[in-house]
C-alpha cells in the first residue's frame, strides 16, 4: 500500500512539473539580455532585450535592433517581428503578446501581436486585422526537438507568418508582398538565459581608416581597454591578402570572428560588441596571409568589465 501511495505521488508531481514546463511564456523568453540573431537573404539583424519599463501597472520589455532591415518590399520591414515594437509584454493568463501604445479599439492602450494560447484555426483581432493560429507542431531546433506554434495574418496584398519555438522564442518571421516577393527572417542563433544556441556571430563594421601603405603587418591594442561593452581593434596590412580576426575566451574557445575576408593594403578598424558576454579576460588574434611566403599572426589580450 505504501508503495502504491508513493507511486501515485510521483505521478502527481510529474504531472505538475509537466504542467509548469508547458507555460506559454516559454515560447518567448523575456529575460533581459536574451539575444537573437536573424538571417535575411545576405543580411542579418541582432535583436536584444535591453531592459524594462513599467506602465499602467504592467511590466514591458524593450528591444534593441542592430543591423539593416530586410527590404524586398516597398515598405521596409523594421525587424523580425514585422512591426515597430518599442515595448511589449506577455499576459501569462491569455498568452497574448501585447505592444505598448500600439492600440486598437478593443484593447486599452495596447496592440495585440499574437496570442500564444490559441488553438489551430482560432481567429483573433490582431493589429486591427484578423490573425489565426495556423499550426502547433514539434520540430528540430538547434539539435533538440521542440514544440512550435505558428500564427498568420492575411489581408489584401499583404500576409505575414510568425513561428515560435518553446524555450527559444521567435523562430522565423515572413512577410509577403504581392508586388515585391517576400521578406523572410530565419533564426540563426541565440543566447537564452545565458545559454548559446546555434551561430551567434554577428557582422560588425570594418572600416579602412587609411589606404597609405604601412611598413609592416601589425595588430594594435584594443581601445578602450578595459571596455564595456564596445571596443575597437585596429590592424595594418602591408600587402593585399586574406585576413582573419578572431576573439577567444581564456579557455581558447572561439567567441566571434570579426573579420574573414580579402583586404587591400592599408589600416583597418573593427568594432567588437561584448554585450552578450560575461565580464572577464578575452583574447583576439589576427591571422594575415599575403602569399605562401608572407604570413603574420599576433594575439593580444583585452578585458571586459561590466
> What confidence tens digit (pLDDT) does each residue in 121-140 have?
776 655 455 577 888 899 99
Residue where a domain stops, chosen among 173, 198, 223: 198
Does residue 231 share a domain with residue 137? no
Higher pLDDT, 238 or 294: 238
Whether pTM exceeds 0.75: no
User: What's the pLDDT band for 154 if we cut at 50, 70, 90?
Assistant: low
Residue where a domain stops, chosen among 198, 217, 247: 198
Indicate if the pLDDT at residue 235 is higher than 70: yes
Q: Which residues pair with 45 in a beta bridge?
A: 38
Does residue 153 share a domain with residue 62? yes
pLDDT digits (tens, 9 = 90+) for 173-197: 987 765 556 788 999 999 898 888 9
Phi then psi dihedrals of residue 57, to 5 deg:
80, 5
Does residue 132 share a domain with residue 41? yes
User: CA-CA distances (angstroms) from residue 80 to 5, 139, 200, 233?
Assistant: 50, 20, 16, 30
Does residue 221 share a domain with residue 159? no
Instruction: Determine, yes or no, domain membership for 3.
Output: no
Residue where a domain stops, chosen among 133, 167, 198: 198
The pLDDT score that the predictor gives to residue 155 is 60
**Residue keyed to cell 583597418:** 268
- % the chain with pLDDT above 90: 28
Which value, in Å, is the radius of gyration of the alpha carbons in the chain?
24
Cis peptide before 154 (omega within 30 of 0): no
pLDDT digits (tens, 9 = 90+) for 22-54: 488 899 998 888 889 998 876 788 888 888 888
User: What's the pLDDT band for 99 if we cut at 50, 70, 90?
Assistant: confident
Containing structural domain, residue 140 = 26-198
Beta-carbon neighbour count of residue 226 at 10 Å?
Answer: 13
Does residue 183 share a domain with residue 44? yes
Distance separating alpha carbons of residues 46 and 66, to the nearest angstrom: 5
**Number of domains comprising the chain:** 2
Does residue 276 share a domain with residue 149? no
Distance separating alpha carbons of residues 239 and 289, to the nearest angstrom: 9
Does residue 155 share a domain with residue 73? yes
CA angle 71, 31, 193 (to 5 degrees): 95
The pLDDT score that the predictor gives to residue 16 is 37
The pLDDT score that the predictor gives to residue 286 is 96
Does residue 215 share a domain with residue 162? no
Instruction: Determine, yes or no, domain membership for 79.
Output: yes
Amino acid at each position: 500500500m505504501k508503495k502504491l501511495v508513493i507511486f501515485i505521488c510521483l505521478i502527481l508531481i510529474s504531472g505538475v512539473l509537466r504542467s509548469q514546463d508547458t507555460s506559454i511564456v516559454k515560447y518567448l523568453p523575456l529575460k533581459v539580455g536574451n539575444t537573437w540573431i536573424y538571417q535575411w537573404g545576405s543580411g542579418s539583424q541582432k535583436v536584444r532585450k535591453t531592459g524594462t519599463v513599467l506602465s499602467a501597472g504592467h511590466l514591458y520589455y524593450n528591444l534593441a535592433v542592430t543591423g539593416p532591415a530586410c527590404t524586398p518590399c516597398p515598405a521596409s520591414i523594421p525587424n523580425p517581428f514585422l512591426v515597430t515594437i518599442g515595448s511589449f509584454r506577455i499576459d501569462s493568463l491569455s498568452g497574448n503578446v501585447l505592444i505598448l501604445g500600439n492600440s486598437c479599439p478593443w484593447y486599452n492602450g495596447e496592440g495585440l501581436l499574437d496570442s500564444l494560447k490559441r488553438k489551430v484555426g482560432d481567429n483573433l483581432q490582431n493589429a486591427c486585422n484578423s490573425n489565426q493560429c495556423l499550426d502547433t507542431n514539434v520540430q528540430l531546433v538547434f539539435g533538440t526537438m521542440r514544440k512550435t506554434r505558428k500564427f498568420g495574418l492575411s489581408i489584401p496584398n499583404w500576409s505575414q507568418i510568425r513561428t515560435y519555438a518553446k524555450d527559444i522564442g521567435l523562430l522565423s518571421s515572413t512577410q509577403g508582398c504581392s508586388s515585391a516577393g517576400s521578406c523572410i527572417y530565419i533564426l540563426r542563433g541565440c543566447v537564452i538565459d545565458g545559454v548559446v544556441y546555434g551561430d551567434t556571430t554577428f557582422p560588425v563594421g570594418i572600416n579602412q581608416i587609411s589606404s597609405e601603405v604601412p611598413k609592416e603587418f601589425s595588430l594594435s591594442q584594443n581601445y578602450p581597454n578595459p571596455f564595456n561593452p564596445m571596443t575597437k581593434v585596429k590592424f595594418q596590412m602591408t600587402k593585399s591578402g586574406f585576413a582573419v580576426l578572431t576573439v577567444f575566451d581564456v579557455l581558447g574557445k572561439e567567441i566571434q570572428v570579426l573579420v574573414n575576408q580579402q583586404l587591400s593594403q592599408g589600416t583597418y578598424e573593427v568594432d567588437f560588441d561584448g554585450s552578450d558576454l560575461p565580464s572577464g579576460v578575452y583574447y583576439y588574434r589576427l591571422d594575415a596571409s599575403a602569399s605562401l611566403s608572407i604570413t603574420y599572426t599576433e594575439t593580444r589580450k583585452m578585458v571586459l568589465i561590466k
